[in-house]
Amino acid sequence: MVLLDRTVLQVEAANEVVHTVDLRDAGAVEAALAGADAVLHLGGLPDEAPLEQLLDVNVLGSHHVLEAARRSAIPRVVLASSNRVSGFYPTGHRTGPQEPVRPDGLYGVSKAAIEALGRLYADKFGVSVICLRIGSFEEVPTDPRHLATWLSPRDAVGFCRAALTGPFSTRFATVYAVSANTRRFWELPAQSELAYMPIDNAETHASQITDADVPAGSEAPQGGPYALPEFTLKHLQP
């Protein structure tokens, strides 16, 4: 297992190799990934930020990973997308990955661009690319929105393992990585897309969440507070 981060990592197992790499350094990314069988790409800015920063790190950094895969003939790349690419669909709508993107902010825009890059490299260069639209990755759900969006650690591992090891005949797929929540907004992947069905359900934690029983309006955006103008306005140039 080859692990990359921009901060110094410590080797914790005999089968690990670590590299300190900035995603913006295309040559370093390619050198570190040489010989890999598959890539799980989780690096980048994880939340709303100025667009130029998101483009520099998330989009250009992902391009460097995909280009390293093409040049090194790595057959499978798993990209960390986000549920935030569709945050403006209403909560009453069960959303599938085939529907047009409706990002709830600049971060969502950067993830939509990453998905488009993945599709390009799949169609044009034959790299098998799986985009995981990751839900709210938390140890346990802690707010009412999580009752729909929670991705448990166990299910996160399951989705990532399935995406890394699934048949390379799958040229491209985008799937929502979300636990089997009763209140979820999103379609679960078909077995033909990803051989994993989530196990956990945020509903088992509902009694510990304040306002869990307060109904959300069916027309409210799935992104919740991320869809509010002020969430993005503070990152725009004055």
Question: pLDDT tens digits, residue range 153-198?
Answer: 999 999 999 999 998 888 999 999 999 999 999 999 887 789 899 9
Residue 3 lies in a domain: no
Domains contained in the chain, number: 1
Beta bridge partners of 17: 2
Residue 27 lies in a domain: no
CATH of the domain at 178: 3.40.50.720
**Average pLDDT for 69-92:** 97
What proportion of the chain, given as a percentage, has pLDDT over 90?
92
Residue 32 lies in a domain: no
Residue 206 lies in a domain: yes
| Residue 196 is a catalytic residue | no
Computed over every residue of the chain, the mean pLDDT equals: 96
Q: What is the pTM of this model?
A: 0.96
| 86-137 pLDDT tens trace | 999 999 999 999 999 999 999 999 999 999 999 999 999 999 999 999 999 9
Measured CA to CA, the distance from residue 178 to residue 135 in angstroms comes to 5
Q: Are 46 and 53 in contact (CB under 8 A)?
A: no
Residue 200 lies in a domain: yes
The sign of the dihedral angle between the CA atoms of 48, 54, 57, 59 is positive
Measured CA to CA, the distance from residue 215 to residue 16 in angstroms comes to 47
Measured CA to CA, the distance from residue 142 to residue 103 in angstroms comes to 23
pLDDT at 238: 76
Reduce the DSSP state of residue 104 to 3 states and report it.
coil
Whole-number Cα distances in Å, 23 to 15, 66, 132: 23, 11, 19
Residue 17 lies in a domain: no
**Average pLDDT for 53-67:** 98
Q: Tell me the residue range of the domain where 86 lies.
A: 39-233
Structure token pair of residue 104: 């709830």
Residue of 107, 176, 196, 226 marked active site: 107
**Average pLDDT for 16-44:** 96
> Does the pLDDT at position 30 exceed 90?
yes
